Amino acid sequence: MIIASRKEVAQLAGVSEATVSRVLNGVGPIKEETKQRVLEAADRLGYTPSALARSFARRRSGNLGVVMPYLPKARIFSAYYFSEILSGIGSKALESKHDLLMLFREPGGSMDYLNLFRTQKVDACIILGARDDEGERAAIKQLSEADRPYCLINQYFDGEAFHVMDADHVEGSYQAVHHLIGQGFRQIAFLNGPPQYSNSRDRLKGYTRALNEAGIKPDESLLFEGNFSRKSGYAAAELIAGKLDRIEAVFAANDRMAIGLQQGLRALGIAEDRMPAFVGYDDSEAAELCTPPLTSVRVPFYELGCLAAEHVLRLLDDSDSPDGSGSSAALHRQLPTRLVVRASSLHQNQ
């Protein structure tokens, strides 16, 4: 099979090779008549510019960056949260013929996001695991002010107009605790994540709202904190075991902590008839495999990944518009969550 060259397209269309390059890469103003001649010549010769050639022409890397938290010794890609989101991002990157570039922030530090664009490592980036601290906020603000295509997933910053794809964690947590109250439980403990994450703060809002609506005064001694890992749930078991005379049910901010807590209580010798009711969060595959199966709040992580990728790719396309101006109005979209009820939270299970 003979592959046509750009030079042959230029000769057939009666234009320069530079004009062929501009037409096929959508760069700069081109007369419509010239554009059509080039496209017809390319079609007749079966010429298609390579992805590499397009990236050079547009000064692009062809990479969609995904910034991940650094979690030492954690099986991050096996975690339901990350695997689902990355699957969604990957599906859209494949459709758009972009490669995924995985980037890990320094332990305990923020990242110079803008430099990723300056060095042409990425054309757009999606940020996972961002924490609300001064350095992270400043780095994202710099990125936003430079009008680069980016999107945060599952994290927003109060007072900042950043691009965010999120889920309605206030409502999700409210539904979880409302369900437990409906089962007759009133002494409900909450194992939450770190407050530097907006979804932790939102879950606390939903938990508190459900208690207040039921006329139950929130008890700070029933609030516990983990770091979303199974180990942190396991470690919390010792604290919670000492208060089981006052705890009828536990709402955990993700399934991994809920499962770790269950395991920790059993390891401490807590009999099944003394175990509290449980509700987790995320509705991971592990929730269905628990004994008893775990009630959990379903979060559309795959859809969050898809929509975040679509958003940054749209911003990237907008930046390629002939006048150089794109639609950069900040987006903060929340997808609905849904409570999936299983045996772990039902009163008859106690």
- Given a contact cutoff of 8 angstroms between Cβ atoms, the answer to whether 271 and 249 are in contact is no
Domains assigned to the chain: 6-57 (1.10.260.40), 63-167+302-335 (3.40.50.2300), 169-298+338-349 (3.40.50.2300)
* Structure tokens, 145: 């002010």
Distance CA 321, CA 54 (A): 16
Task: Indicate the burial class of 70 (C-beta count within 10 angstroms; 0-12, 13-18, 19 or more).
Answer: middle
**What predicted TM-score, i.e. pTM, was given to this entire model?**
0.80
Q: What phi and psi values does residue 65 have, to the nearest 5 degrees?
A: -80, 140
**Residue length of the chain:** 350
pLDDT digit of tens for each residue in the chain (350 aa)? 456 777 888 888 898 887 887 777 665 567 888 888 888 888 888 776 654 455 444 556 789 999 998 766 556 666 889 999 999 999 999 998 889 999 888 776 678 898 888 887 899 999 998 999 999 999 999 999 989 999 999 999 999 999 999 999 999 999 999 999 999 999 999 999 999 999 999 999 999 999 999 999 999 999 999 999 999 999 999 999 999 999 999 999 999 999 999 999 999 999 999 999 999 999 999 999 999 999 999 999 999 999 999 999 999 887 655 444 444 678 899 999 999 999 999 975 54
Query: Which residues have CB under 8 Å from 25's CB, separation 6+?
Result: 49, 54, 57, 58
Distance CA 98, CA 101 (A): 9
